Amino acid sequence: MLLNVDTYLTKISQFSALERRAVTSLATLYSFRMLGLFMILPVLALEVSGYPDFSPWLLGLTLGIYGLTQAMLQIPLGLLSDRIGRRPVVVGGLVVFIIGSLLAANADSLIGILFGRALQGMGAIASTLMAMVTDFTEEKNRTKAMAAIGGSIGISFMLAMMVGPLVVSYAGLSGVFWLSATLGVLGIVVVLVTLPKAVTKTKNRETQADTKQLLSLLKDANLMRLNIGIFALHFALMACFLVIPDILSNELQIPATEHWWVYLALLGGGFFIMLPPLVIAERRGSQKTSFIIAIACMALSMAVLSIGRNPWLTPILLLVFFSGFNLLEAVLPSWMSKMCPVGSRGTAMGVYSTSQFLGTFFGGLMGGLSVEYAGADGLFVLLAMVLLGWLIVSIGLQTPRALHTYVVNSGGVEQQDFAKRMLNIAGVEDILVVEGEQLAYVRVDRKIIDLASIEPYLNSRTTGEHHGAWHQQSDHCG
């Protein structure tokens, strides 16, 4: 999720002019929308505590409700965009997001903000924007485009943690929602003015959902462990923001106007702390070890926070929590992308995103109920148990191999014959031949396969009538 600015700019510079314009526009759209959704996290708990209808469980529901509406609508709206076009769905989603922001900005009750947040989530355009990435980019640049957009989301999250408290200090809680509405309007301007218009809609199983694959993916043990992981991770993140603002203000005696630098220190410090172990684990092939340690550290930090907090210990434990969060947020989508069956990445990532949104919703709901009946200590106990459960589930997780997916023009060769030929090549691990599309998705081990020697073989397989066109789709999504 997190990507430094230099890496982001490097990836953008590798695109063609059209791709650069499209990816920059799409990354901007993601950033505007995510910034509008995230800014409320560090401020809502403090700002609504005096509302007549305030209660911790309603606060939690208000924080997490957008996750439920996004989970319900992201795949259906993505499929709708295949039928009526991407732009109407994106513009319509942004309009709904703006209406929700305006409703929340003018609300004088927590229930009013809740309905506004629900509408914000109903503008679920994430899957449609990912489909647009496929439409605008070549296969060889698609992974870089996904990484650039992922980086923009990470940057927007960090900015939101700082901007939210600053906006509230000058314009109050309604100012946050007015800014969200403004960002939605700017998003529509981006769609209508800067996003390229000349595009051919492309169907690609590696980036778009196919409902026919859902059942088989839900039975995959490794994928389910990862889906449980992203659920637990965002459950913990959302629930924490029910009590962290209050802890900073009342236990650590940090004024609300100064919270922005605290979040900068926690998230920025967490990023730099997690970076070395992430790089070392990648080099030594010990990714699972660092993965398990990160979950254990998060669970331990929550357990200790439930026992006792003080001005010295609490900041350290929060830093440990956010360090683990940053590492796991970066690793999980990459592992999901590497582990999903060939030709199923779009559907697998759709299930993964839905699990993330549901984790956001249930984290807010269950976290609010915990605070209602057991206070902050009870919430931290709940989070420690959730993270411990994730730790146990993750013990059986397999470390993904460094495989790469290529999209091949099969040239009309009979499916079984073509699949057999490919699987006989050393280094080819899996293949999916798409009926009626003359396409095949081939997963290979780059350490074994010789791409230079396989290219002539592919070109000769149809006696010169068709030529195999290889396009790389790396299974690593940054």
Neighbour count for residue 440 (Cβ, 10 Å): 23
Closest residue by Cα to residue 404 from 363, 362, 444: 444
Task: Give the Cβ contact number of residue 411 at 10 Å.
Answer: 18
Sign of dihedral through CA atoms 150, 156, 157, 158?
A: positive
| pLDDT tens profile 420-432 | 666 667 767 666 6
Show the domain range for 334.
Answer: 213-400
332 and 274 in a common domain: yes
Q: Do the Cβ atoms of 71 and 354 come closer than 8 Å?
A: yes
CA nearest neighbour of 250 among 384, 38, 49: 49
Contact 477/146 with Cβ under 8 angstroms? yes
Q: What's the pLDDT tens digit per position in 87-136?
A: 999 999 999 999 999 999 999 999 999 999 999 999 888 888 877 877 78
The span from the CA of 126 to the CA of 120, in Å, is: 13
Average pLDDT over residues 350-356: 87
Predicted model pTM: 0.82
441 and 386 in a common domain: no
Last-in-domain residue among 360, 383, 400: 400
User: Which residue, 381, 400, 419, sits at the end of a domain?
Assistant: 400
Question: In this structure, what token pair is assigned to residue 54?
Answer: 């305030």
User: Do 176 and 64 belong together in one domain?
Assistant: yes
pLDDT bin (cut points 50, 70, 90) of residue 398 is confident
Whether residues 305 and 394 fall in one domain: yes
pLDDT band at 332 (very low <50, low <70, confident <90, very high): confident
The CATH code of the domain that includes 265 is 1.20.1250.20
Q: Give the HSE-up count for residue 335: Cα atoms under 13 Å, Cβ half-sphere.
A: 23
pLDDT in tens, 249-287: 999 999 999 999 999 999 888 888 887 877 777 777 678
Q: Which pair of structure tokens corresponds to residue 190?
A: 């981006």
Q: What is the pLDDT of residue 384?
A: 98
Q: 210: closest CA among 455, 432, 478?
A: 432
Q: Which residues contact 114 (CB under 8 A, 6 or more apart)?
A: 58, 61, 62, 65
Q: Which of 461, 434, 439 is nearest to 213 (CA)?
A: 434
Number of domains in the chain: 3
Taking CA atoms, 233 is separated from 200, 330, 393, in Å, by 37, 12, 13
